[in-house]
Chain A
């Protein structure tokens, strides 16, 4: 099937500073300031608990925003065959990989400080680890296929299958955990969180969501430029 966007993508309009990215970076910096200076220290865990503002929000965005976007864009691509959707999926996957990596780095940092162990096969962290493997595999697949249409189709198939896999991973890891008693762990007590912490969480979430959007858009533009360069090269070949 030919893609509906058979004309080269329009790249003529983008000049000037990336205001969205600027706003996102300011928001993230503001969250750092707020979390470190203006939010109370949690009694049980001490200052290390503040990693959670990055860790938990990154985890949420990686799975529920980046990955879901990648999966939906994949399904839509197979249905509509529009190249733009493939670029969205590609961008969501790459930005999602960055956020997932943040989760996997901040998790052990927090865990070592709080529990004394770098890695404990915690259900969520393990699921995030597998998500990381899946997204890496997605990028490896894209890197191994040169022809654009085939690359888009293969990636879309993998994206959809990965979306089907995630519930199975969650279920398996959860089942594994509940049947294997692990040492009692300290967990942040969400319901009884003081309001300043809740506000910090919300602002953190907002700032990181903004960052995700800015990174996604920038990455999407790079993909568009790359594809139009390819088209030009082919036309002159």
Chain B
């Protein structure tokens, strides 16, 4: 029996001013898969994530989320959540208001309750009524993650999500990611921390100059040799 993959990307190309930042990237993930995406700065990882979130339109190629095209219509975006470097929050509003706003945009029947649940998952519910700009960077990151999971997305995209998180926050994030996978979601996690990424992953990829230099199942990867292989692959060739 063939199940619909959570995400199927094919031939993705995105250029800025003549330079291809994402150059023919394609991959497929099924429910409970987690892709750890490594690569040097400027490789195109963030752009790829933005393409998968529907924030950028590809010049070529397609993205299907649970079989629905991301570029035609708006409904596919409902199944994607994005955690990025920027918090994507409104500083003047409280943590709860921010997450509830996202919940409303997604049409959740009880936005307030869903927001509280998400904040609780990320262990930041006790600061729910604090304006976001009064929170520390780490707490803001937790609220941002809560915002990304409140609508229970089928595809969760994380751009270096552990940055700035303390132990509690990191534990909350790991638990949240596990919960999403348990519920059948797929994850794409961009990280510079190889051991961390390998621990989560079912698939690994190294992105370099807009392309996947390597893409394979986690089982095929030798964790001890990987760091050296990564360094060699991404060394700058003069």
User: A and B: direct contact (Cβ < 8 Å)?
Assistant: yes
CA distance A149 to B17 in the complex (A): 7
A residues within 8 A CB of B57? 1
Kindly specify which of B8-16, B191-199, B224-232 makes contact with the partner chain. Answer: B8-16
Closest partner residue, chain A, to B56 (CB atom):
A1
CA distance A2 to B21 in the complex (A): 11
Query: Are B19's CB and A234's CB within 8 A?
Result: yes
- B63 to chain A: closest CB distance in Å? 15
B residues within 8 A CB of A8? 18
- A164 to chain B: closest CB distance in Å? 26
Task: Count chain B residues whose beta carbon lies closer than 8 angstroms to a beta carbon of A.
Answer: 10
- A230 to chain B: closest CB distance in Å? 8
B residues within 8 A CB of A234? 17-19
B67 at the interface (CB under 8 A from A): no
CA distance A230 to B2 in the complex (A): 49
A235 at the interface (CB under 8 A from B): yes
A residues within 8 A CB of B59? 1-2
Chain A contact residues, CB within 8 Å of chain B: 1-2, 6-8, 147-149, 230-231, 234-235
Chain B contact residues, CB within 8 Å of chain A: 13-19, 57, 59-60
* Other 17 A-B pairs with CB < 8 A, given A147-B16, A234-B19: A1-B57, A2-B13, A2-B14, A2-B15, A2-B60, A6-B15, A6-B18, A7-B18, A8-B18, A147-B17, A148-B17, A149-B17, A230-B17, A231-B18, A234-B17, A234-B18, A235-B18
A-B contact pairs, 22 of them (CB 8 A): A1-B57, A1-B59, A2-B13, A2-B14, A2-B15, A2-B59, A2-B60, A6-B15, A7-B18, A8-B18, A147-B16, A147-B17, A148-B17, A149-B16, A149-B17, A230-B17, A231-B17, A234-B17, A234-B18, A234-B19, A235-B18, A235-B19
